[in-house]
């Protein structure tokens, strides 16, 4: 059985401490029609309470580290130290509609000697199934004590690919439509489940064979990208390069499918 580092233990504990309240709030969603709070306010409060719990737990353990969080934004820490990247509730629309598919995502981003930063630890926790996907740079990716490997499929025709679909006020639907038109005829299926963090965790676990999406935030993808890489997969931008964050384009798969997918997508975007 793999052993967590002390840091991973802190991250996993923070996610698990926030989870019971999220589970209770999720059950309360069924009764929103009789609640005094509106749906948006209710979910915002659920987000904020989970984020506060995670922040308190991580701050106690690493008081001089900074944070980048979905609700609070950036909180500066010692610039020479790592920072936490936190999404307390990835899959908010699912949560609001009583769809049992959402997650907590926590990553650690460390400064490097060349001035860049890289993700070195990540946890994606699914409160309703009690699955904790975790990875540390150089130590592989795991769900609980089970080692993760990306799918071994080599043919797009056998593959199921996850994506996120643009919606009201979010994303470029024309661009997505071109990509969908190129990819869909070549694959066994396309799924949109509504939590990018879990989509990437499931690519790492081999449940999905690939994933593409744009217009995501760092807290949506930081932990998931590390999971895919440590499970033997690749994460690139839509052109097969390493400018995922700069271009806000994310494509993940094993080596064979990655090459085929990025050629399809790049061709669709010409």
Q: What's the pLDDT tens digit per position in 120-160?
A: 999 999 999 999 999 999 999 999 999 999 999 999 999 99
Residue 64: predicted pLDDT? 97
Q: Which two tokens stand for residue 86?
A: 């936190």
Query: Contact 155/198 with Cβ under 8 angstroms?
Result: no
Residue 50: predicted pLDDT? 94
Q: Which residue has the higher pLDDT, 51 or 116?
A: 51
Residues above pLDDT 90, as percent of the chain: 81
Query: Contact 236/158 with Cβ under 8 angstroms?
Result: no
Please list, in sequence order, all residues whose beta carbon lies within 8 angstroms of the beta carbon of residue 259, skipping any fewer than 6 positions away: 240
Residues above pLDDT 70, as percent of the chain: 94
Residue 170: predicted pLDDT? 83
Please list, in sequence order, all residues whose beta carbon lies within 8 angstroms of the beta carbon of residue 245, skipping any fewer than 6 positions away: 218
Please list, in sequence order, all residues whose beta carbon lies within 8 angstroms of the beta carbon of residue 181, skipping any fewer than 6 positions away: 268
Q: Where are the beta strands (DSSP E) in the chain?
A: 66-69, 73-75, 83-90, 103-111, 117-126, 131-136, 140-143, 146-147, 160-163, 189-191, 210-214, 234-236, 249-253
What value does the mean pLDDT take over residues 55-60? 98
Task: Round the average pLDDT of the chain to a whole number and report it.
Answer: 93
What value does the mean pLDDT take over residues 228-236? 98
Q: How far apart are CA 77 and CA 98, in angstroms?
A: 36
Q: How far apart are CA 122 and CA 132, in angstroms?
A: 10
What value does the mean pLDDT take over residues 85-108? 94
Helix (H, G, I), strand (E, B) or coil at 170: strand
Q: What's the pLDDT tens digit per position in 10-53?
A: 999 999 999 999 999 898 876 654 344 555 555 678 888 999 99
Could you give the strand order of the β-sheet that contains 234-236, starting from the edge strand earlier in sequence?
A: 189-191, 160-163, 210-214, 249-253, 234-236
Q: What's the pLDDT tens digit per position in 183-230?
A: 999 999 999 999 999 999 999 999 999 999 999 999 999 999 999 999
Please list, in sequence order, all residues whose beta carbon lies within 8 angstroms of the beta carbon of residue 146, skipping any fewer than 6 positions away: none
């Amino acid at each position: 059985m793999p052993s967590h580092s002390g840091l991973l233990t802190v991250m996993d504990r923070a996610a698990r401490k926030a989870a019971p309240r999220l589970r209770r709030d999720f059950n309360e969603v069924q009764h929103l029609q009789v609640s005094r709070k509106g749906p948006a306010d209710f979910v915002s409060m659920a987000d904020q309470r989970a984020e506060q719990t995670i922040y308190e737990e991580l701050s106690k353990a690493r008081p001089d580290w900074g944070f980048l969080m979905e609700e609070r934004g950036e909180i500066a820490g010692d610039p020479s130290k790592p920072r936490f990247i936190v999404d307390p509730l990835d899959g908010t629309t699912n949560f609001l509609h009583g769809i049992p598919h959402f997650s907590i995502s926590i990553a650690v981003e460390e400064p490097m000697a060349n001035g860049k930063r890289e993700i070195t630890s990540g946890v994606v926790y699914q409160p309703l199934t009690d699955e904790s996907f975790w990875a540390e740079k150089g130590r592989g990716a795991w769900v609980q004590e089970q080692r993760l490997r990306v799918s071994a499929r080599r043919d797009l025709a056998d593959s199921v690919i996850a994506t996120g679909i643009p919606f009201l006020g979010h994303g470029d639907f024309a661009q997505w439509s071109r990509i969908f038109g190129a990819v869909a005829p070549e694959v066994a299926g396309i799924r949109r489940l509504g939590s990018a963090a879990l989509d990437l965790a499931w690519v790492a676990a081999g449940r999905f064979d690939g994933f593409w999406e744009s217009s995501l935030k760092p807290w949506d993808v930081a932990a998931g990208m590390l999971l895919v890489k440590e499970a033997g997969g690749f994460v690139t931008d839509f052109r097969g390069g390493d400018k995922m964050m700069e271009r806000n384009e994310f494509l993940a798969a094993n080596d064979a499918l990655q090459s085929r997918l990025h050629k399809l997508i790049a061709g669709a975007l010409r």
